[in-house]
Structure 1
């Protein structure tokens, strides 16, 4: 039987003894990953400040924790509004990825189209930049 050994805001750790061996399991809050399209080959990326990391910023997609009391569309638009100051009028669930085992987390991937201005406060103070396939070459 699993025994919780740590519970934080975003992560919990459990141990389970099986046949004399102790197995650790990490549970991470489920997430939403959004690809906000501004054209057929361009998405908006976030330059996120990470004061506790070096360098103190990173380029990333729009992401956040999934709130199960909200619909997919509400989760997507909340994160878009917080991170890039926009919301989408067209949202497609692209994929659901479940990690089960030592690390446990579900991630919901969504494509967001028809973006309109709509800002929510964001304590992380992030900037948005466009990103396209040509940046990879």
Structure 2
């Protein structure tokens, strides 16, 4: 009896997910869209009929630079957050040697670093 109850609970918890998935599949099968209404995928700044490999390499290079800027900004934000947390816990501990001045200075420098990294991401995105 316990196995039947557990099976019923499992099926009832997954019923909504399964039915939404099933309904979406059925809709996609029977809804034959007009191919002329589907927009073409276009990369900004690139002609759709281009076969120039240098232009394609330029776009890939810009994409790599943008991804690198995003990863550097994310890692800088993570490092700043970890440093601020450690300095805050040091400032609030009873045996801590660092005071609130260290925390405020680290906060100001951290915000400068974060805004500089986000500005670099903005510049990288504006390459496109």
Structure 1 or 2: more strand by fraction:
1
| TM-score > 0.5, shorter chain as reference | no
Give TM-score scaled by structure 2 length: 0.17
Larger Rg computed on CA atoms: 2
Which TM-score applies when normalising by structure 1? 0.16
The structure richer in helix per residue is 2
